[in-house]
Structure 1
């Protein structure tokens, strides 16, 4: 039996992936903010007679302390993790600083994925064919604001998400750079536009734009087909990237080792502070 850990697994893509693997007889750990949605996930598992294989860990992943608690919980409960699926995201039109002093999107979309990737690395190494699937958006042209990564001066919700996608690309590069010889396969995945709940805080005009986008977006059912394919048969290369089912070279200008090392060092300093 394989163990799947899915951050953002109570909604959208993560929820669909979680239910799919539970139905296939695997052990599935879902991490999410909403206790109500978490209970719904567990209730659905009980109805299927799969409650012993379904787990829910409530956590606000914008808070590093709660993300670290998730890592500790998993490490104390499981001997291995076969797949770590990172798909939690939350849009904010207005800038918010968490109680820990980090800009919310930066903390939720990037820092949590850093902490989960590195914090569970040894459990992944204990699996036969481990994979980290980071659903963030490789192939985009977001700018990295190196002198203002948390966008204190010119915050914009879309800019924060676009930069977050670029940071996660570099996270994948740095993960492998800092773990030479690892058998973990790191996959960066852009699912395209998907009709999910679009979790977030929106102004009315931005919400109107989201409603238009949602009407033409692909369904969650369509979106998870190439995702499940990657999870079932991870690429042979240590690092790979996809835009839906189309491979993307992870060696272009958006994936430079110099920038990845710069970001990794900056992140380690932030977390140490």
Structure 2
């Protein structure tokens, strides 16, 4: 029986993945903020055995203390983790500082992922053919990351914040594949619009997409994640990037290895502060 860990596993594509893997007979640890949504997810699976194979871990992953607690709980519970799916999302169009003093989007979309990837390295290694599936859409420019101000204390915009997170998560793949032999690290985004609630501060464009275009042309989350399920079921060691089923080129910068090392140091320094 495989063990699948899914952040953001109570909503949207994360919930679709959780339902699929529970229906397939896997053990699934769902990390989210709503126990009620987790209970609804289990009810939707409709398999009494899923209750024994499912575990809910309540956490706000924009908080480093919660991310550390999640790592501690999962490493105590599971000797092996076959797949780690990083799908937690909460959109913020404006700069917001958490109670721990970090910019919330940077904390949720990168720092928590760094903590989970590094903290779960041992159980991932133990599984033999581990997969990390990161739903940070690939393709940000190599120069998108400001190492001197990653939390954007100056000149914050939603676009700049989003690009930084995406580039950081591609570099995280370099760190992860250095540390975990035979790891398949995939940055993945859906091929098109997905019917989603877009949790968070949603701008006018996203509201239109969610309320008008989504029901007309958007994919159901269960359909949107099928390509990602295939990648998790048939892992290929190394780094890769996909939009839906389609592989896309990895972004290559002039100093990727050095940038990845520097990013790891930045992340560890930020995590040590809280």
State whether TM-score is above 0.5: yes
Query: Does the Cα contact within 8 Å between 1:188 and 1:241 map onto a contact in 2?
Result: yes
Aligned residue in 2 for 1:184: 183
Q: In 2 relative to 1, CA 55–47 (structure 1 residues): closer, same or farther, beyond 3 Å?
A: same
Gaps of 5+ in 1: none
1:34: how far off? 1.9
Residue 133 of structure 1 corresponds to 133
Deviations 1:224-247 (A, max 9, x none): 111010000011x32122122122
d(CA) in 1 for partners of 2:254 and 2:157?
A: 21
CA contact (8 A) 2:133 2:185 kept: yes
For 2:194, the equivalent position in structure 1 comes to: 194
1:1-273 to structure 2, matched below 5 A, reads 1-44=1-44, 48-141=48-141, 143-177=144-178, 179=179, 182-192=181-191, 193-202=193-202, 207-208=207-208, 211=211, 214=214, 215-235=216-236, 237-250=237-250, 252-253=252-253, 256-273=256-273
Q: What is the CA distance between 1:60 and its match in structure 2?
A: 0.3
SS at match of 2:225: helix
- Bigger drift between 29-38 and 202-211 goes to 202-211
Query: What are structure 2's unaligned runs of at least 5 residues?
Result: none
Q: 1:148 to 1:216 in 2, by over 3 A?
A: farther
Deviation at 1:54, TM superposition (A): 1.0
**Post-superposition shift, 1:104?**
0.5
Q: CA deviation at 1:69?
A: 0.6
Name the TM-score, length of structure 1 as normaliser: 0.90
Per-residue deviation, residues 163-187 of structure 1 (Å, max 9, x unmatched): 211110111112223x1x6122211
